[in-house]
Amino acid sequence: MHLPNSLFYADGRPTRLGRKVNDLSGQLYALPLLPRMMATLETVGRTTGRTHAIPVAVASWQGERYLVSMLGEGSAWVRNVRASQGRAVLRHGRRTDVVLEEVPVPERAPILKAYVQVAPGARPHITAQPADPVEAFERIAHLYPVFRIVRA
């Protein structure tokens, strides 16, 4: 059964149902039982100071690990990461303090391609698909922030 994406996201933001699913997924993704590409990202809210946790898919490319904002520039976690100079926590079995370094737009395309290959839930949000050539991702790279994961 395939549910319409609009049940979970509207106008680039999670709906009430989307937030509940993200909360549950965030708890699940933090468990060490799942593949390493599934994790939970914790950021500190830039205005509230509260910790926010969301499920994320971790893409690998050329021996590095990356996070991509499937909802683009408007994602709260992207704004929180930028406000905290990249400081965040990744959880997958254990908590790991990380620094997320933003990748320049010209370098994003192959990472975006790797990301859509491991993140099927992101595919409705990203116009290029896994089978598309890297050039298709070059055309949209400016729309999706990408961050290299570095241990703090």
Nearest 5 degrees, angle CA 8-CA 46-CA 15?
10
Residue 13 has pLDDT above 70, yes or no: no
Mean pLDDT for the stretch of residues 20-35: 64
Predicted TM-score (pTM) of the model is 0.82
pLDDT at 23: 64
> Which residue in the block uniquely carries the two structure tokens 């099927």?
120
**Structure tokens that stand for 11 in this block:** 């106008």
- Indicate the range of 10-14, 39-43, 66-70, 135-139 predicted with least confidence: 10-14
Residue 6 has what pLDDT?
61
What is the arithmetic mean of pLDDT over 74-85?
95
Distance (Å) of CA 12 to CA 56, 83, 150: 16, 20, 27
Mean pLDDT for all residues in the chain: 87
Superfamily classification of domain 5-151: Electron Transport, Fmn-binding Protein; Chain A (2.30.110.10)
| pLDDT per residue as tens digits for the range 33-76 | 666 788 999 999 999 999 999 889 999 999 999 999 999 998 99
